Amino acid sequence: MTGSSFTRRGFLGLTSAAVAGVGLSACTGGGTSTGGGQTAAASKNLRLFTYEGDETIGLLKAQIKKFDAENGTTTTVDSLPGSGAAVYPDKLRTELLGGKGPDVWRIWGGQIGSPFAKAKQALDLAPYYSKFGWDSKINTAAIGGMTFDGVKSGVPFVSLGIGAWYNKSLFAKAGVSALPTTYAELEAVNDKLVAVGVTPCGLGGKYGWDIMRLFEYLLEHTAGPELHDKLLTGDESWDRAEVVEAFTLFKKWQDKKWLPQGALGLDPADIEPAYVQGKTAYTITGPWTEAAAILSAKKSPSAFGNFELPTDQTPARHSGFVEGYMINAKTGNADKAAALIDFIVQPATQKALQVSASTVKGAEPDPKALPLSAEWADKYGSNPFYTIQDQAFPKKQADQYFSVQSDLLQGSVAPDAAAKKMQEIVSAWAKS
């Protein structure tokens, strides 16, 4: 019996341990390495990790092939297109911790790129800024977006502004003959569109960041540039009339059906291109939509247009953000990786990649290939921008903020309570 008892207990123990192992090992990222391993040995192989979509990955691979031919390297390009900043950084982080991180990766600036710099997973690129003269070739404000605690950890190659991208035929159907130049005119446009049965603004609330673009615009409108910037850094309290007014307007957009029905549950990937399909009149997005939504749908750019959302403020600003490349601090090929980045930020490469809002001087969008992006750059490219809010806040605070948005649109909190809640979130972050 002893043997039987031992076997049973042993089996019970081992099985329990197995359950524990399976459960717990799910969150270790496959190991316990906290540093991502040692510096890799130098080689001629590079790996670049990005989130290019199907419409642009071919262009990138063609340019990388050219770089390889000129430099005797073999560069692998991996891409994770799709849900944007909600998923890509996780994959990157897991790769870095697993010690198999890419040599070069694309990343957003602000609080999305910041953790990689602060954890020293990204290389300090100051020596390469000197070597390749990036300071004089790249827009200074954009470099600021990839500088963390004074360390230049990334090389921005795109600085994107967010505005309204609209379907001309639906505006015409609603009798809109002139683009809105004031907030009141924008509201009037929305009313006209609803009157002819068209949903004005196509935004989705899944993930939070898409519908956020409306609220941040409303906040710019009600608070103005100076206060908006101070709110984002926690230097001013959110518990104030301007914020309450912005939340009130935000709710108004939903209540007046200026947003799609059930917007909170919609996936941005589904609803953003709806203006191209004629299901909504416009969306709030950036110039990438020209390649990703208009051209990929084989539609003529002449059927669409864009305008900066009117804020009634001086200076007129729009939401914006930068994206760039970082180099793995553990790579054994830092020089080659830097050379690859330098190749990518050459004006000729930027044009070949059809970058719609390049930070590189001399790489403005080609009006023939991307007429709408060129038009945006020409009209609004030099306007200042405020930091897009999901880059202004760390992910956790951004998600808490998205929860406030969600509660407000569902009517479970009032605008003044939402402003108070935001103040709690931002002040807790600012103190930490």
Smallest separation (angstroms) from other proteins to the CB of 120: 7
Of 59 and 86, the one with the shorter C-beta distance to other proteins is 86
Of 59 and 269, the one with the shorter C-beta distance to other proteins is 269
Of 18 and 184, the one with the shorter C-beta distance to other proteins is 18
Q: Which residue has the tokens 């390469």?
A: 128
Q: What is the dihedral of CA 306, 311, 316, 317, to 10 degrees?
A: -70
Smallest separation (angstroms) from other proteins to the CB of 81: 15
Round to whole Å and give the CA distance between 356 and 366. Answer: 8
Smallest separation (angstroms) from other proteins to the CB of 59: 28
For residue 105, give the amino acid letter. Answer: W
Which residues lie closer than 8 Å to 201 by C-beta, 6 or more apart? 190, 214, 253, 258, 259, 280, 281, 282, 283, 284
Smallest separation (angstroms) from other proteins to the CB of 205: 6
β-bridge mates for residue 358, sequence order: 158
Smallest separation (angstroms) from other proteins to the CB of 133: 31
Round to whole Å and give the CA distance between 334 and 155. Answer: 14
Of 244 and 398, the one with the shorter C-beta distance to other proteins is 398
Smallest separation (angstroms) from other proteins to the CB of 239: 20
Of 163 and 205, the one with the shorter C-beta distance to other proteins is 205
The string of DSSP letters for 242-258 reads: HHHHHHHHHHHHHHTT-
Mapped onto helix, strand or coil, the DSSP state of residue 261 is coil
Of 35 and 144, the one with the shorter C-beta distance to other proteins is 35
Of 130 and 410, the one with the shorter C-beta distance to other proteins is 410
Which residues lie closer than 8 Å to 295 by C-beta, 6 or more apart? 55, 301
**Residue 410 to residues 125, 222, 318, 414, 418, Cα–Cα distance (Å):** 46, 22, 27, 10, 12
- Which residues of the shown chain bind other proteins in the complex (CB under 8 A)? 4, 7-8, 11-12, 15-32, 34-35, 86, 89-90, 93-94, 96-97, 115-116, 118-121, 199, 205-208, 260-267, 270, 279, 394-396, 399, 402-404, 406-407, 410, 412
Of 291 and 426, the one with the shorter C-beta distance to other proteins is 426
Which residues lie closer than 8 Å to 406 by C-beta, 6 or more apart? 205, 208, 264
3-state percent breakdown (helix, strand, coil) of the chain, nearest 5 = 50, 15, 35
Smallest separation (angstroms) from other proteins to the CB of 336: 24
* Whether residue 200 has a cis bond before it, omega within 30° of 0: no
Strand residue runs (E) in 262-362: 280-285, 304-307, 318-327
Smallest separation (angstroms) from other proteins to the CB of 117: 10
Mapped onto helix, strand or coil, the DSSP state of residue 288 is helix
Of 18 and 62, the one with the shorter C-beta distance to other proteins is 18
- Cβ 204 vs Cβ 405: under 8 Å: no
Smallest separation (angstroms) from other proteins to the CB of 190: 17
Round to whole Å and give the CA distance between 3 and 329. Answer: 55
Of 160 and 264, the one with the shorter C-beta distance to other proteins is 264
Smallest separation (angstroms) from other proteins to the CB of 19: 5
Smallest separation (angstroms) from other proteins to the CB of 379: 32
Tokens of 377: 């750059």
Of 101 and 286, the one with the shorter C-beta distance to other proteins is 101
- Cβ 217 vs Cβ 250: under 8 Å: no
Mapped onto helix, strand or coil, the DSSP state of residue 152 is strand
